[in-house]
Amino acid sequence: SQTIHQWPATLVQPVGSPLSLECTVEGTSNPNLYWYRQAAGRGLQLLFYSVGIGQISSEVPQNLSASRPQDRQFILSSKKLLLSDSGFYLCAWIDLFYGYTFGSGTRLTVV
């Protein structure tokens, strides 16, 4: 069966520190992968998506970057966090039959 793993579940980081959030999927190959962010009181915003290894599309300009070093691994990073980076980050992949599957999310608080 297809599963998606995302960690950590919660994270508190100081302003200016680096960030690395990891997402891995199992039970599928060559999935389309996505990073979404949900800021407090707002909806979900697509940050990045990837249709294959090394292929990253950015949807909005920001302080974050994404990488896909392996077929089933998608990483969200920042060199220096800002207060405005706080939010709930969700990784997702899409299957033609099942549709979207979301990870359990990482709640990031930048202090």
Partner 1 sequence: GDSVTQMEGPVTLSEEAFLTINCTYTATGYPSLFWYVQYPGEGLQLLLKATKADDKGSNKGFEATYRKETTSFHLEKGSVQVSDSAVYFCALGSGNTGKLIFGQGTTLQVKP
Q: Which residues of 40-62 are buried (b: 16+ CB within 10 A; e: fewer)?
A: eeeeeeebbbbeeeeebeeeeee
Q: Which of residues 69-88 bind partner 1 (CB under 8 A)?
A: none
Query: What phi, psi does 2 have (nearest 5°)?
Result: -85, 135
Shortest Cβ 32–partner 1 spacing (Å): 5
Single residue of 19, 25, 49, 76 touching partner 1 by CB under 8 A: 49
Smallest Cα–Cα separation from 87: which of 58, 110, 64, 61? 110
For position 29 contacting partner 1 by CB under 8 A, the verdict is no
Instruction: List interacting residues with partner 1 (CB under 8 A).
Output: 32, 34, 36, 38, 42-46, 49, 51, 57, 59, 90, 92, 94, 99-100, 102-105
